Structures are given as structure tokens and as C-alpha cells.
Structure 1
Amino acid sequence: MEEKKVKKQDSVCTVAKKCGGCVYQGMPYKEQLKRKQKQEEQLLKKFCKVSPIIGMKDPYYYRNKVHAVFDRDRRGNIISGTYQANTHRVIAVEDCMIEDKKSQEIIRTIRHLLKSFKIKTYDEDTGYGLLRHVMVRRGFQTGEIMVILVLGSPILPSKNNFIKALRKEHPEITTIILNVNDKQTSMVLGEKEKVIYGPGFIRDTLCGCTFRISPQSFYQVNPVQTEVLYQTAMEYAGLQGKESVIDAYCGIGTIGMVAAKQAKHVLGIELNKDAVRDAKMNAKENQMNNIEFRQGDAGKFMVDMAKKHQKVDVVFMDPPRAGSDEKFLSSVAQMGPKKVVYVSCNPVTLARDLKYMVKHGYKVEKIQPVDMFPFCDHVENVVLMSKAGKR
């Protein structure tokens, strides 16, 4: 009975059961960390000892990227919130306990402005209406805020007055973008976009580096724990200023640029063209001359390097949830860097990839779980692998 009381008191979200986003709502944070630790050990302890998971001091309102879908309820009132798990039914959310407070305030303001500006919300069934989604991205260190209005068609009525009214309530907004998504798709953002206020991007600071973030750029959503994640990765790499480094799946260059401060040379590889553009701009703005970026498939790039017998000292890899592929892992094994630092957002695919690397001459030295997503079931890990005989 006592345990039930504790859990009930800890349940602070009124729509937790309907939303389904936070599977650990109602559970004390220490208990969440225990469960995640157990999950990590079950999957990864066969490789080496799993260090105690690093949690947050304050596990609330940590997400710097907030997305709201807009709709109407049965009475015709405008609502904003999230899709119910595994459906396209919109659950109205007034106060999400893991999303940035200021971003949520902006979304509520937009919802209230729609009526006075006679802007209709988009109906997925009929294709009628205009506003589909709003996404807000905030730089926690810089305070810069981006608002992305996702429309079903390219014209926003009374655009200038709408911007003026929104910025009157929230003068801290630094840029506003219209994104056009006119397709029947589950994707939030469409391919066409137009900047209607400000520079079209925001900046944020992470581990002493400044990063330019465009509407569709990948940037970790929990900046507090990202610092922990990247600092752990650098500690594991043990860079001394003489190393040649590869940052695979580099995105906008976050890990590679942090590494460049301690390495001789860094090469970042990324498939997404927009991310590569931002990465190059980030290196220039941070006045880093010892890092370069190439656009292409990381696996193919590494295979080509292996064929040419090119050597590197350290490889950082931060693949998507699907993990890496055998082509990439094989090329890493062929190149034989002294250290491989694997940053993973999926322990299942991580276990699969570690099994491959161990079979091909690498030893797993350290595994550090980091709780990037309190109240959710995802866990990030930093893993250090060393080449047998090259420690």
C-alpha cells in the first residue's frame, strides 16, 4: 500500500496514461534509474562491467525542442498537444513535465492568437485548414528561440501582424520560419521552408563550442546531459593533441568539434547535406582549422579509407537508433584505430555491434549509461573499445 501511495504522489502529469510518451510517469526518479540500470546490465554486462547510470539533479522540463500538433476537440475548440500513442488522435496538453517551459508558453500563445487571426487548424481527414504543427527550439545557454510554423499551404494570412503579435508576448523569439507540409504524411516537417523573421537559425553553446542550429538540424534535446555524455566520450578517448580522429555520423559537428580542441586533426562524416553545411559553418565560427567535414555515407567512406590503408588513432561513432552496419564496422576493424568511442541511443543495437567488434579484435573496456530522457525508457551509453595489443 505504501508503495502505491508514493507512486500516486509522484504522478504529476494529468495526461500520462492518454499520451503514452512517458512510460515512467508516477514512478520516483531513483526507481526509474534502478530499472534502467538493470536493463543496461542485462544487455551489456557480458562485454564488461556497466558503470552506474548518471541521472539528472532536476529531471523536469529538460527538452529544448518542443513539438505540438494542432487540432479541434469535439466542441470545436482549438487544442494543441501530442498524438496519443500509436494513433493520430490529438491529446490536449497544457503542461508537459519534460518540455521546456518557455517553449510551451509560446505554443499556448500561438493557440490563443489563431482565433483572432481567423487561422484554421489543419484537418488530416479532409485536408482542409492551415496550421498543422508548431515546433519551438531554444538554446538553453544563449536564450535564442526558433519558432517553426508548419502549414498545409505556403501563405500565412496577416503574416506581419501575426509576427508582431507573437513577439509582443514573447520578445525573446529570435527567428520564425514557415515550413510547408502539404502531403498526407506522418512526418512533421515538410521540405519547403521560408524565413519570415530573423536569421533562420539559432545558436547554442555546448562544451565550450557554439553551434548553429537550423530548423531540421539534429541537436541533442537534453543539453544538460549532453555535456555529461560528450565529456565522458572525451575522457574515454584520452586525446593528447597528437591524434588523427574520425567523427562518424557527425551531424552538425558537435562531438568532432569538442574533440578538435584536444586532437591534431578531426574528419567528420555525415550523410545529411544540411547538417554538413551547418557543421562547416560551426567550425568557421569557432575558428577551428584542424577539423574538416565530408558529405557521404559513413560506411562507404570508411571502406574507401580502409582500402587505401589510411590510419587513424581514434574513431567516434554516434549512429542513429538502428545502430551501425556491418560495412562500417568491418572498415573500422580493418583500419584498426587504437580506440573506438561508441555513443549509442539504443542498447539493443549497441549490443549487436559490440558483439561484432569483439569478434574482430576489439575489447570493450568501459560502458557508461547516461539518462538523457527521464520518465522515458530510452538510455544513452558511451562505450570505450580498444584494439587488442594497442592500449
Structure 2
Amino acid sequence: MSKQKQLKKKQTNLTQNEGPLKVGQEFPLTIKRIGINGEGVGFFKKQTVFIPGALPGEVVTAVATKVHPNYAEAKIKKIRNQSPYRVKPLCPVYEECGGCQLQHLDYKEQLNVKRDIVVQALERHATLNVEKLDIRKTIGMEDPWRYRNKSQLQVGRDGKKVLAGLYGMNSHELVDISECLIQHPSTNRATLIVKSILEDLNIPIYNERKREGLIRTIVVRVGFQTGDIQLVIVTSKKEFPKKDLFVAEVKKRLPEVKSILQNINGAKTSLIFGDETIHLAGKETIQETLGDLSFELSARAFFQLNPLQTVKLYDEVKKAAQLTGNEKVVDAYCGVGTIGLWLARDAAEIRGMDTIPESIEDAKKNAAKHNINHATYVVGKAEYWLPKWQKEGWHPDVIIVDPPRTGCDEQFLKTVLKVKPKRLIYVSCNPSTLAKDIQFLSKEYEVKYIQPFDMFPHTSHVECVSQIVLK
């Protein structure tokens, strides 16, 4: 190479290193913390860089994959200094699947990281003094494997072979999952057998790109205590060729399946379920047990995915609610009534609401089954029912809220500020929306403490129970 070319190359490299990152550029990076999605976070010339698979304290050689105005994404080329907490992932498709984000991190250290994710969310989305907040150590699991009671796997084809799995990280390639280590073994086995039945009967599989075919998703839910299985086949249309043959084969090969349903979702959407569910065979619900309570679960009803941790979580809700037997309690976003019924024996009255009619029917059945006569369940939003009840002279002392990942509806939060219960117990599955909602309520309410829970080991998800009281 001539001196002139060498000088030109040197100048190019210097320009690359001095300016913002460019795609394909290699650079050294020290990882400072784990981000809210489980990726390592570092800073290169004041630019935030997110790098999946990297751990705090590690020094890596990174390659920029995407550069945005305010941050960059990168991948690891080489780990120069390795974290003492790095472990070998047990799952063979861990890096392709994307369902877990932290299997490469020692489990005890995962619990510390999850508390830090809560702290990060509060620092980013609230103006509270985080150092003065009582954010407790994350409560984890003794055995952090095979804890999920429900699997929802997309279906595809590879030639004649039927696949069921998740779409890979940042791609639309389906990763076939035959043995997921965080799923209850019964859900893995049921999914494998359902795939073989679909193959044997040559039932059309949905092709998302072409928007043709029938079978979209296999949903399997197991009752941890009963062993009963509910199978829901999500289809793109109502017509289901060889439906009777399919049901007969499921009954023959999977006698533990007590409930077989078809859900219809023809929309172009990332949502699993459509609005219409057809009962195909067995019972319409299966039973799950938490402590000394049992619950009837229909196909679309929300129920916590980790029953073992749920008992610890609900006990924390009960402790935070500080019930004496005289309180009127609202269970907002109540699902099948689990939290309200858990507290019912210590409350004067429970009232719950949810927008899914089947969930409310399940909640009513669950209350009746346990002879809980002071619980009322209605279809609709809390922001409709709370003002209505207040006009009728009924005022809640405690509101329990367990919203979806998007957090509480703003209208609901405005309603809470008007109704002014003494305590709001906020069960959150998303620290970012929890922080935003706490900020919204901070005019009238203060946070007494936040207790993080690890409901989903080996993922970046963290659940919290927050005791929020009227100032």
C-alpha cells in the first residue's frame, strides 16, 4: 500500500472514531448496567449503546449494527474482560429465540439487576427522589425453571414439517421450540403432540406473509395442581376442515386435555386472540389452585403465568392493603377475581371490574364456589364504575390495580385522584409504566415502598407491588 493510501485510511479511521458511530464500526465498550429489555448498556463518546448479551463490568469489542439519533445498537465481537456472573445458558436455542434475555447471567445476580431495572425506570420517568424511596430486594424463586403454566406458540411450516415457536430477535423467522426450559413440561409435551396431529392430518397452516391458511397459534395452559390441560387452537377463520378428526386425535393422544377450544382471529395483528371462541370438546374451563382457593379459567381469561410466585405476590398485596375487616376494596382490572378473592376474608366488601365478559363470568363463579357473598363483579372500566358508585354513596377505602403492560388508563388515574381511596396497591408488570403512573398520582399520593418480584426468571421482566398512600 502506498504512503498516500495509508495516510488516507488513517484519516478515515480517525474521522470514524471522532464522530458519531457508523454501522459496521468496531469500538471498545465498558458495560455499565442492564437495560430494561435485558441488554447491556454502555457509553461511547457520550452516546448510549445497547448491546444484547453483554453484562455489567464487562469490556467488549463491539460492532455497531444500528445507529439512531439518540442511541446506537451493537453486537459483541469479542469479550475482553468477562463478568464473574456470566454462565452458560442451558437452552439450546437461547440466542435465536429471544423469549429469555438473561439466561447467560447467574440467577442471584439477575435478582439484583431486576431491582436496578426498577430504579432506572423511576429515574427516567418520575421526578421522585429515588435514593429516598424504599425499593426492596427482589423476591426470587428457589427453582427458577419450568414455572410457566401457559405457552402461546406461533405455527408455521418448513416443507411438510409443522413448526411451533417464537419469532427470533429482530426477525420474522420462526424459531421452532420443542423443549422450553421455563415452560411446565406438560405444555411442551402437549404442543409437540398437537404439532404431530396437524402434520398427520395435513391441516392448512397459516402463512402470515401471504395471509392464507388456517392454524395460527397453539395455546396450552396447565393447572399446576390438577394437571388438567386446556388447548386453544387459534385459527384465521371459522371453518376448520377435519375438525372432528383433530378433536378425536387430541382426546386419544392427550387424555390429560380436559378443555378444547377454537379461537378465531382473522385480523392482521400481533394480538394472539380474536373476539370469538368456540367450545369444541370437554369442559369450557380448567381449574387452577392458589393456596386454598381454586379458580375456573376460560380461554381468554387473564391468570398469572407463574402460580408458585403468585402466592408470594398476593400475600404481599394483602400485607400492603393493611385490611382490618372494615374496608371496602375495589379490584380493578380484576381478571377472574384472583386478587380480590385472596383478600376477601379480610375485607368488608369487594367490587371488581374487567372489560372481558368471560373473565367476569369466571370471577362470579369463583366467588360463589368459595361462598364469598360480599364480592360483586361487573363488566366495564373502573373509570365508569367508580364515579357511578360514588354517586350512589359507595366509597372505596383501598383500590387494588393490576393493569396490562401499557399501565393504567389516564382516565382511571384521574378517577383515582377524584375518588381518593386511602391506599392504592399497584401490581405492575412494567416498571416504566409504573413510574409514569406514580408520577401522575404524586400530586395527591406518595409511595411508601416498592417490592420487586421475579415472576419470570431468565427474562428481563420484573413485577412490582407498590404501596401508594394518600398524602
TM-score computed with the length of structure 1 as normaliser: 0.91
Which has the larger displacement, 159-168 or 109-118?
159-168
Secondary structure in structure 2 of the residue aligned to 1:134: strand
* Residues in 1 aligned to 2:410 and 2:278: alpha-carbon distance in whole angstroms: 39
Please name the residue that 2:68 is paired with: none
* Residues in 1 aligned to 2:251 and 2:266: alpha-carbon distance in whole angstroms: 26
Which has the larger displacement, 273-282 or 99-108?
273-282
Q: CA deviation at 1:152?
A: 3.1
Deviations 1:159-212 (Å, cap 9, x if unpaired)? 344333323332111011122333433332233332121111111112322211
Structure 1 residues 1-391: aligned runs within 5 Å: 3=82, 7-9=86-88, 11-44=89-122, 45-46=130-131, 48-73=133-158, 75-306=159-390, 310-360=394-444, 362-388=445-471
Aligned residues: 385
* Residues in 1 aligned to 2:370 and 2:156: alpha-carbon distance in whole angstroms: 42
Contact 1:72 1:79 in 2 (8 A): yes
* Residues in 2 aligned to 1:38 and 1:6: alpha-carbon distance in whole angstroms: 16
Change (3 A) 1:304 1:196: closer
Change (3 A) 1:352 1:365: same
State the Cα RMSD in Å. Answer: 2.2
What's the % identity of the aligned pairs? 36
Which residues of structure 2 form unaligned runs of 5+? 1-79, 123-129
Which residues of structure 1 form unaligned runs of 5+? none
Letter in 2 for 1:150: V
Change (3 A) 1:177 1:332: same
Change (3 A) 1:78 1:328: closer
Contact 2:164 2:218 in 1 (8 A): no
Contact 1:69 1:134 in 2 (8 A): yes
Contact 2:87 2:106 in 1 (8 A): no
Contact 2:151 2:221 in 1 (8 A): yes
Change (3 A) 1:6 1:315: closer
Change (3 A) 1:102 1:153: same
* Residues in 1 aligned to 2:443 and 2:333: alpha-carbon distance in whole angstroms: 23
Contact 2:399 2:425 in 1 (8 A): yes
* Residues in 1 aligned to 2:200 and 2:165: alpha-carbon distance in whole angstroms: 20
Which of these two proteins has the greater Rg computed from alpha carbons?
Answer: 2
Q: CA deviation at 1:55?
A: 0.5
Letter in 2 for 1:91: V
Which has the larger displacement, 262-271 or 320-329?
320-329
Which has the larger displacement, 122-131 or 268-277?
122-131
Contact 1:306 1:331 in 2 (8 A): no
Higher strand share: 2
Contact 1:303 1:327 in 2 (8 A): no
Letter in 2 for 1:12: L
Contact 2:355 2:380 in 1 (8 A): yes
Change (3 A) 1:214 1:86: farther
Greater relative CO (CA pairs within 8 A, separation 6+)? 1
Letter in 2 for 1:33: L
TM-score computed with the length of structure 2 as normaliser: 0.76
